[in-house]
Every structure is written in C-alpha cells, then in structure tokens.
Amino acid sequence: MTPNTTTRTFAPGPLRGTLTVPGDKSISHRALILGAFGPEPLEIRNLNPGRDVRATMEALIALGARVESEGTALRVSGGRLREPMGALDCMNSGSTARMMLGVCAGADIRARFDGDDSLRRRPMEPVAAQLRAFGAKIETTDGKLPLHIEGTPRIETRRFILISPSAQVKSALLLAGLFAGVPIAILGDKHSRDHTERMLRYLGAPIEWDGSRVELRGGPVRRDPIEVAGDFSSASFFIVAAAVTPGSACEIRGVGVNPTRTGLLDALLLMGADIDVRNERDAAGEPVADLVVRHAPLHGITVGPDIALRAIDEIPLLAVAAAFARGETKITGVRDLRTKESDRVAAIERLMTAVGIEVEVAANGLVIRGGAPIGAGALVETHDDHRIAMATAVLAAGAGPLAIDSDASIDVSFPSFLETLRSVQHA
C-alpha cells in the first residue's frame, strides 16, 4: 500500500499567473547514471525531486557511486562500480529498472532487481531479451520483477534491432555499451525519446543518430555541468488545465521542448489551443522555452501513432482536452498504456465516465466524443498512478469538482504539484 494515503477533492477555477515545474524526470535519471560513469564529479542542477529519480540515485549508491549535495546542486561520481550488498529496489520506477539493467550488463555486475507491487506487474522481458543478446544472463519472474542479472565481460552482440521502439530499451543498450567500453549500433527506432543521445553528445561522446539509427563509438570526454530542463510532462498538467478552463492565462517558464516529447503540444495546437512558445534556448543539449497558454475553444482531431509515441505519458491529458473539444477525437497507438503504472486506458475510461463524456475503446485506440463535461464530486480511482491523480485535477479545473482516492502517488514525479496548482488557480 502506498504510504500516507489521503483522499482529495479538486475544485474548478481558471489558472492565471507564472509558474515553474520540477526538473525533467527522464533527463534526471540519465544525468545521475552518466555522473556515475566516471571518477570525476559531474555537477547536476535542478534534479527532479520525485521518488522515481530517488530510486535511481539510491541504486547507483548501492553500486558504489558517490552522491554529494553542494548548495542546490548534486555532484555525482563513480568509476568502477561494484556488486550491491542487497537487491536494487527500483520502487515504482520502470526507468530505473530498465536503464540500470543496461548499466549492470555493461559493468559486469551481478545484482537482483525488485520494485513495488505496481512495478512488479510491468514487463521487463523486452529489455531483458535485448541485453541477453548483448551477453548478460538475466532470469525474470514470468517476464517481470523480481529478476537476477549477471553482467558480462564478453560482449556477444554490438549491433541491435529494436523489437519495438522504446527509449528505455534503447538507452539500456547504449548504457550497456558505454559501461562495457564497446561501440554500439541500434537500428529500428522510430523517433523515441533521445535524451540519452543528447546528453552523451553534450558531454563529448562520439555519437550519431537520426531517429531510426543510433551509433555510439565511445564514452563522454567532458564533465560539463548539467542544468536539467523543466519537465514537459509536469508542465503538461498546467498546459491542458489552462487550455480547457475559461478565464485562464498562464506562463510556464523553462520547460524542455525536446520534439521527441512534445506530441501533446502538437496535438493541442491542431485542436485550436492558444499556446505561444517563447524565449527558445538550450540547456545541456536540450531545447528549452517558456510557454504561454490561454483558454480557447477546441475541436476534435485524429491523433496517429507518431504523435501518440511522442505523447505517450500525456495521453490521459490529451483525453481530458478531447473531453472539452467539439466533435470526436480519435487516438491510435495507445497499446503501451495498458502496462504503465496502471492500466491508463481503463483510467481514461474512468475519467471520462466521471464527467459524463462518452469514450469508445479499441485494441490500440480511443475515440472520445467531446462536449460539456460536468464534474459533480465523483470519486476517481487512481490505482496509485501519479499521472491519473494529477489528470483528475486538470479535468476538475474546467468541469467541476472531482475527488481522488489517494494523492500519495503524486510524489513519484511532482511532489510540489498541489502547492503549484494552488498558487495559480483562482476560484
């Protein structure tokens, strides 16, 4: 059971003002891992404060990495890692489990991986299968956690074809090659998240990629400080809330706008959302901007698998936007939502039902018939999924009061969400 469980009711009201969001969770995982690659300290600023990132930090410490606080920054160093004393507890973090498997495979480390009940239900065989081809020995529990890995000094494969496009599997392979000190080539990507590639290039590694192929020929040669961009997924809650709630006008500063992550932004603009992208700049190899969002009428669109892949964590929010849009919104390419922290397709059905919006579910898609969603204090079951808990708050902002059975999961990625929402929402 998730600790400190508290039911909570979210109220309606427009969003006005300026806000910032925590550091990007995906980038934070990778910054910690690359910090542990070399013996010299790597300074990381604006690290995401959520439980998922803490899982990666604690796993690296268990492997012998050193993490020191210096003001508002962290300094991470590693070098030769060692076998952990006990199991690596990945908590609720699939990113931790999959990418740290790559680290252990390449660093020739034996380890046991485990996680909470939710993570134990999520598939690990896709990454395990590709790392076995690399040469690691991995025994899963029916394709899931807990599992045992034996890393390898004898690399069997250095050229891979992804079974399905996945940034976590791709990153696990890149990290295996990096920690093993061997070149790696990966084919079959479909423009999945490229944070690992960008960070390696920023640190001077010889790496090339074009959205379908990645080649890494060596490790980083610099230890330049990493300023983690604001998390686009966290910003998305406020983007959608402002877009669908009359009277809203808010600015979200310092948000990462990596094009492999901004499928939601593209979809909202197609729907007629009023969003300005301002002050575009760079932070440690990642594009960053300020986003100004105002309420505007939306209309239904068709969202294909290409946009869905770049918005996979934000599909529940896209569904919320569709609930307020005129006409039908069709979304395809959502099969992977069934195996996230919860079954997010089922969660979208619960959200839509709570406000009287019709939704039709197919094997790999959704059809949402928008209109005038009405919240009347209904209780939404979150299944301890942080994104569903926060998506309920977004839906309530425009539709009326809604409650969730627990707000504890919010700490996974955005511990300050409730405080930030209070600071910009006006009754």
Would you name the residues annotated as active-site residues? 313
Longest dimension (CA), the chain: 62
Answer yes or no: are the C-beta atoms of 395 and 402 closer than 8 Å.
yes
Half-sphere exposure for 50 (CA within 13 Å, toward CB): 32
Of the candidates 220, 218, 173, 217, which has an alpha carbon nearest to the alpha carbon of residue 192?
173
Answer yes or no: are the C-beta atoms of 249 and 43 closer than 8 Å.
no
Distance (Å, whole) CA 67 – CA 60: 9
Chain Cα centroid distance, residue 46: 16
Q: At what angle do helices 94-106 and 167-180 cross, to 10 degrees?
A: 30
Instruction: Report residue 57 as tokens.
Output: 């930090």
Distance (Å, whole) CA 319 – CA 341: 17
Distance (Å, whole) CA 293 – CA 303: 21
- The reply to whether omega before 373 is within 30° of 0 (cis) is no
Q: Calculate the CA dihedral of residues 175, 178, 183, 188 and round it to 10 degrees.
A: 10
Chain Cα centroid distance, residue 30: 12
Give the strand pairing for 286-294 and 274-283: antiparallel
Q: At what angle do helices 51-62 and 94-106 cross, to 10 degrees?
A: 20
Of the candidates 30, 110, 109, which has an alpha carbon nearest to the alpha carbon of residue 76?
30
